[in-house]
Amino acid sequence: MSSRKGQRDTARLVRQQLARERRRRRTLWTSVAAVAVLVIAGGIGWAVWSSQRSDTFTAPPGATENGTGVAYGDGPATIDLYEDFLCPACKQFQQSSGATIEQLVNEGKARVVFHPVAYLNRFSTTEYSTRSSAASGCAAKGGKFREFTAALFDRQPPEGGAGLSNDELVEIGAGVGLNRDDFSSCVSDGTYRAWTERVTEDASKAGITGTPTIKVNGKELSDRSPAGITAAVAAAGK
């Protein structure tokens, strides 16, 4: 009798163990299936988000055909400028060589494509690089891109702070002749933030790792001095 009872107890324990094992397997496969669904959904979501991020944007008037920079001038040589409005070296470049570039444009020797990238948001508590770049798009819409970008470098805030406020950006815009109300609405609405993201992504994909980066007819310049730029434009225009 005792032996039969022990056998029944053993059988019961085995059944319980098997039941637990079946439940464990079911839980495992359910978890695997859930993870797979999440992975697939995440992949689809990422693809959709990436597609929307790269393709859905509004470029300002004066932008290049692919929308990755604002172009002006019609000379035979093309100068690509990749600059961040929070970049101190970009301000120095503009102070030393900006007038030379403007002269080359005015003389019909060069076409400029300005790419206002937002690489330095990490050095601002308010994403100033993005906000100022987007504001430059608003300035292009108002026909004052060159004047506004020059003023932005003149008023460049220090790295590590909040940067200029939207109200201050509007004051700069009004100061260069932009319609205050129209420009203010464009800045506050973030009309060209998605465009700024596109410009920045395109520059990164093109291998632009720092600012300022200057190219003449696609060739990056190591000599960014007025003489170096003038010589490169002259050679490219031949």
Write the DSSP string, 104-120: HHHTTSEEEEEEE----
With b meaning 16 or more CB within 10 Å and e meaning fewer, what string describes 175-187?
ebebeeeebbebb
Taking residues 9-32, report their average pLDDT.
54
More confident residue, 93 or 11: 93
Location of structure tokens 């770049």: 133
More confident residue, 221 or 19: 221
Q: Give 35's pLDDT tier (boundaries 50, 70, 90).
A: very low
Given this model, what pLDDT does residue 12 score?
Answer: 58
Taking residues 131-156, report their average pLDDT.
98
Distance CA 130, CA 117 (A): 8
- The predicted model scores a pTM of 0.77
Distance CA 166, CA 136 (A): 12
Q: Give 43's pLDDT tier (boundaries 50, 70, 90).
A: very low
Q: Give 20's pLDDT tier (boundaries 50, 70, 90).
A: low
**Range with the lowest mean pLDDT among 23-27, 38-42, 228-232?**
38-42
Residue 59 DSSP code: P
Taking residues 22-31, report their average pLDDT.
56
Is the CB of residue 129 less than 8 Å from the CB of residue 116? no
Average pLDDT, the chain: 85
Is the CB of residue 90 less than 8 Å from the CB of residue 83? yes
Given this model, what pLDDT does residue 56 score?
Answer: 84
Given this model, what pLDDT does residue 100 score?
Answer: 98
Distance CA 28, CA 155 (A): 60
Per DSSP, the three-state class of 148 is helix
Per DSSP, the three-state class of 219 is strand
Half-sphere exposure in the Cβ direction for 106 (13 Å, CA) = 7
